[in-house]
Amino acid sequence: MSLLRVTNLSVSFPERPPVVDGVSLSIDAGEIVGLSGPSGCGKTTLALSLIGLLPADTQVSGSISFDGRELRGLQEADLESIRGARIGLVFQESALALSPVLTIGAQIVEVVKAHAQCSHEEAVARARQALVDVGFGEERERIFNAYPHELSGGQRQRVLIAQAIVCRPALVIADEPVASLDYDSRADVLALIRSLNEQSGTSFLLISHSAEVLDSTADRVIEMRAGAVTEATRQPTVSFPLASRASKVDRAFGSRDVLVEVTGLTKTYQRRRLFGKGEPAVEALKGADLSIARGSILGLAGRSGCGKSTLARCIASLESADAGTIAIEGTDIAQLRGRALLPYRNDIQVIFQDSAAALNPRFTALDVVSEAMVIQNIGTPAEQRDVSAALMTLVGLSPDRLGSRPIEFSGGERQRLAIARALVSSPRLLILDEAFSGLDLATRERIMHLLIELKTTQGLTYVCISHDTDLLTSFATHIAVMDDGRVEKPHPVLVPQGAVA
């Protein structure tokens, strides 16, 4: 018997063609169904429609039956009794899904108490066990008492999974649940999904761009394209020939002058509480050294929580280091403050993993791209619009969408929008912090091609932070590995066999 049955479901936003177009699918009790497809094909919209989390002005038709009960047309109170208790959801963008003002423990306990008749002590115990289930064994207490901003992207993603499974729902909808995790954490989470499926009979709708993830976990795979679904064969592996060719050309030049030199960088987060004793401090950086050559593509790898994002934020002056130097062509920007730092903020831009969290949801695409020009009073409104339209075109987005808001773009399109915003400041260094993790392989390759082209035409230097060593090997000229707040010396990448010369 089908646990979930979707019949002829269509979803459209105002003045736009259907994002989901006549979809029918089913998930049996105890089944893991994979959902693949390119960015913008409607996967996330389909997931949100199943539990009634679409905007109020969305037009929805068709049937969504869960455990024999029609979900479409239910009152919000009835849907809330199902979400979390019977259907769990793991969002792709953890920065948006977690409240910044509550501890991790409080947010998981809140889910338990909303759906289970139990004491506060029992809810706390279940929350702690859920953290253990997703791999936070020795770190359980620190994670339980931490706030979301104190965790890495991969750690936040595991927290979302813990929140989704804490009530042992019959169905979990997991939207790219392992895209931002290192290989060890990814393997642990996928093993957890299989264990929950085998031992508890939990069904999963597993949305992923990774053929490897779906091959190793799903019972069958549904492919989605242009809003419609079909039973799919596994996606073939996509190579990155242009990126490999660019890396090969770069290596032929040998050593280059240094654009950024990081020396002895330390950063400790003091975890204070309003009441009671403070928690133990977290040493994110422990004397990190890093040299970034002009015109290079430096890959930075390492497990979740090792300090990669903290290092990137310090280089971009989004965090202040406790000690050490960050020299850009001989100037230590770690010592600069206020207006003296502004030119260097323009020189270094960051494209974050969670594009939806990085873009103001109330802004239009024009507002997003032109924001730096507006703040610095550069150009007239007409000139700002012309520049924004040109940058939209450069990154492969139609300038006709300057009036669209971030929610109207797919994950891959939002990353392109983020690149356009970063380029408006004419940066010299672009830091890509897991910027590829939520993209399908075809979209990832298109953006990599775009970045290689921009590297040549705009004279850019890149730091690419990723858990995906295959991606780094294809894209980067050098790779450094980070562990426990320190950085290994970068090593040149050998050109992959079969790379385009």
pLDDT of residue 66: 95
Q: Name the amino acid, one letter, at 10.
A: S
CA–CA distance, 210 with 190 (Å, rounded to integer): 12
pLDDT digits over 248-281, tens only? Answer: 334 333 545 899 999 999 999 876 655 555 667 7
Domain membership flag for residue 106: yes
Residues 75 and 112 occupy one common structural domain: yes
- Boundary of a domain, candidates 179, 199, 231: 231
Residues 206 and 130 occupy one common structural domain: yes
Q: State the average pLDDT over residues 68-75.
A: 91
Mean pLDDT is lowest, of 58-62, 103-107, 355-359, 471-475, for 355-359
CA–CA distance, 345 with 69 (Å, rounded to integer): 54
Residues 36 and 144 occupy one common structural domain: yes
Greater confidence (208 vs 180) lies with: 208
Residue 238 has pLDDT above 80, yes or no: no
Domain membership flag for residue 95: yes
Domain membership flag for residue 469: yes
* pLDDT level of residue 495 (50, 70, 90 thresholds): very low
Structural domain harbouring 401: 241-255+295-317+340-480+487-492
In the structure encoding, which two tokens stand for residue 116, read together? Answer: 């289970």
The residue whose two tokens read 């600069």 is: 336
Residues 160 and 65 occupy one common structural domain: yes
pLDDT of residue 13: 86
C-alpha distances in angstroms, 229 versus 199, 217, 235?
Answer: 30, 20, 15
DSSP E strands in 208-302: the ranges are 220-225, 228-231, 258-269, 282-293, 297-301
Residues 263-286, buried b or exposed e (16+ Cβ, 10 A)? bebbbebeeeeeeeeebeebebbe
Domain membership flag for residue 499: no
Domains identified in the chain, total number:
2
Angle at CA of residue 286, ends 476 and 261, nearest 5° = 45
Residue pair 86/169 in contact by the 8 Å Cβ criterion: yes
Residues 102 and 172 occupy one common structural domain: yes
Domain membership flag for residue 430: yes
In the structure encoding, which two tokens stand for residue 211, read together? Answer: 């053929």
Residues 469 and 356 occupy one common structural domain: yes
Residue pair 193/182 in contact by the 8 Å Cβ criterion: no
Domain membership flag for residue 322: no
Spatial strand order in the sheet of 20-28: 20-28, 2-12, 59-66, 69-70
Residue pair 47/37 in contact by the 8 Å Cβ criterion: no
Residues 215 and 249 occupy one common structural domain: no
User: What's 83's DSSP letter?
Assistant: B
Residues 188 and 250 occupy one common structural domain: no
pLDDT of residue 341: 86
Residues 176 and 201 occupy one common structural domain: yes
What CATH number is given to the structural domain containing 351? 3.40.50.300
| Number of other CB atoms surrounding residue 255 within 10 Å | 8
CA–CA distance, 167 with 87 (Å, rounded to integer): 9
Residues 173 and 197 occupy one common structural domain: yes
Residue 171 has pLDDT above 70, yes or no: yes
Residues 440 and 349 occupy one common structural domain: yes
* pLDDT level of residue 326 (50, 70, 90 thresholds): very high
pLDDT digits over 5-42, tens only? Answer: 999 999 998 878 899 999 999 999 999 999 998 877 88
Q: What is the pTM of this model?
A: 0.62
pLDDT digits over 282-312, tens only? Answer: 888 999 999 999 889 999 998 888 899 899 9
The residue whose two tokens read 């299989």 is: 194
In the structure encoding, which two tokens stand for residue 396, read together? Answer: 């492969």
Domain membership flag for residue 327: no
Residue 472 has pLDDT above 50, yes or no: yes
Domain membership flag for residue 333: no
Supply the mean pLDDT for the chain: 84
Residues 136 and 214 occupy one common structural domain: yes
